[in-house]
Amino acid sequence: MGLRRSTNEYISGVNNFLDTTFERASKGDEILCPCKKCANCKWNHRNVVEDHLVVFNGFVQGYTKWIFHGESFSSRNNPDHNNKEGSNMRDNIDGLLHDTFRDVAGDLRLEGVREGLSEDAKKFFKLLEEGKQELYHGCENFSKLNFTIQLFLFKCIHGLSNVAFGDLLDLLREAFPFSHIPESFHKEKNVIKDLGLDYEKIHACPNDCMLFWKENEKENNCSVCGSSRWKTVNDPLTNESSKIPAKVLRYLPLKPRLQRIFMCPETTANMKWHDTERPKDGNIRHAADGEAWKNFDSLHEDFARDPRNVRLGLSSDGFNPFRTMSISHSTWPVMLMNYNLSPWICMKPEYMILSMIIPALLWTISDFPAAYAMLSGWSTKGRKACPTCNHGTCSQYLKHSRKMCYMGHRAFLPPDHPFRRDKKSFDGKEDHRSAPTPLSGTEVLEELREFNNVFRKGQKRKRRDSEGPWKKDPSFLNCHTGNITN
């Protein structure tokens, strides 16, 4: 993979790779393309994959163990592969468990006893036993835990629905009744949950006023609007009613997911790419080449001193999970991008971190001004719709068309530009104003000092200019203070 793509050795290796892959991991006449652009996410025909690997892109960096193309998780460099694969499998699982429960394992080594175990310790020993238990008597290639994890990985890679995956488990248990195959998808998820990949369900007010979380976890009614936390659902078969949460936010804790990144030696090395391997020739190829990154480093020198400290970017948009069905509902996944990684890795799906899933919003963001207003808190409608010009926005209401028009662009021209003196082509006036100055972070925080946020859906009302352009105090402005806020 490190050879030049024009060499005969590289081309021959690609052909051998394709021959083997189409025997082991093809889906019809297609395989997952491992080029830098597709990154094992798109299915393509053989000729397309060959062009991607030889002519255009080459292999995705770091893809040396071909787990998406028929290779097992055990090392292919082991010369005694057949005899030691089972022991390697167990060693890998043991390593995974000790990495996941490293604090628990350390405490147990110090104590040397198993009496009065914590819940985490009980999970650790349970998974440790499953990691040593054979899938069936005499099986050397899989343990019960190893097979469970690979089944779940198979489901994720191939996009199997929960129902289809449950039917697959039923079929496997019927065909191999002597093996330790999970009884249901629910049992499978419990194993993954015990490995630290769980999420929290947080109930929310149906009007988006508050979260029933932390100090409000026991409340049954919203403290802002008084709405009930629950809604009643009737079962048409039994005619019985039950209470379910009116709205649920799903939160995936960030800390254990960041810990997973540093458990893999290869990924740990990549986390320092922005500092150790990034070309520093003045060209902007990565977020670390930008002024915002450098400004942050100058203000937070202690944080910037260790290149392993994680820098995350936030992204979100809504979509209708019911596709073309006429249902007024959308789901908003909140994604985190790991900017420590190289540009060709950080935006790949496998390196994105799902942080939250926000349900039941009615609309998605379809244009930049709406997104800008939602995240910045500054209204992009009305007389002061431009966040850059802020209070110096030059606007005029068109009476007959009933629209706001934004004028005064000549203020951004050089002082001696002829357009500044041109009355006829513009609004009949000369314009010698200087360009408005964007608000600094300190000025923004000062304007929002006395601003009170009201989080709720309410009756729409016409805004008045006297209320000012700020609609809310956005949480992003509270992440940092001073001039870094922009």
> So what's the pLDDT on residue 112?
44
Give the C-alpha separation, 206 to 211, whole Å: 10
> So what's the pLDDT on residue 125?
65
Tens of pLDDT, residues 61-101 = 767 767 677 665 444 444 444 444 333 444 455 555 555 65
For the residues 283-296, what does the mean pLDDT come to?
Answer: 90
Whether residue 422 is predicted with pLDDT greater than 50 in this model: the reply is: yes
Tens of pLDDT, residues 205-238 = 988 888 999 899 989 999 888 889 998 888 777 7
For the residues 361-389, what does the mean pLDDT come to?
Answer: 74
Give the C-alpha separation, 445 to 13, whole Å: 59
Give the C-alpha separation, 358 to 319, whole Å: 11
Whether residue 287 is predicted with pLDDT greater than 70 in this model: the reply is: yes
Q: Can you read off the two tokens belonging to residue 9?
A: 């050795």
Tens of pLDDT, residues 108-132 = 444 444 445 556 666 666 776 777 7
% residues pLDDT > 90 (the chain): 15
Q: Phi and psi dihedrals of 479, rounded to 5?
A: -70, -40
Question: Scanning the structure block, which residue is given the tokens 């200087």?
Answer: 434
> So what's the pLDDT on residue 94?
57
Query: Which among 169, 185, 187 is positioned nearest to 177, based on CA atoms?
Result: 169
Look at residue 32 and give its three-state secondary structure: strand
Look at residue 314 and give its three-state secondary structure: strand
> So what's the pLDDT on residue 202?
93
pLDDT tier for residue 60 given thresholds of 50, 70 and 90: confident
Whether residue 151 is predicted with pLDDT greater than 60 in this model: the reply is: yes
For the residues 391-400, what does the mean pLDDT come to?
Answer: 88
Q: Which residue has the higher pLDDT, 418 or 8?
A: 418
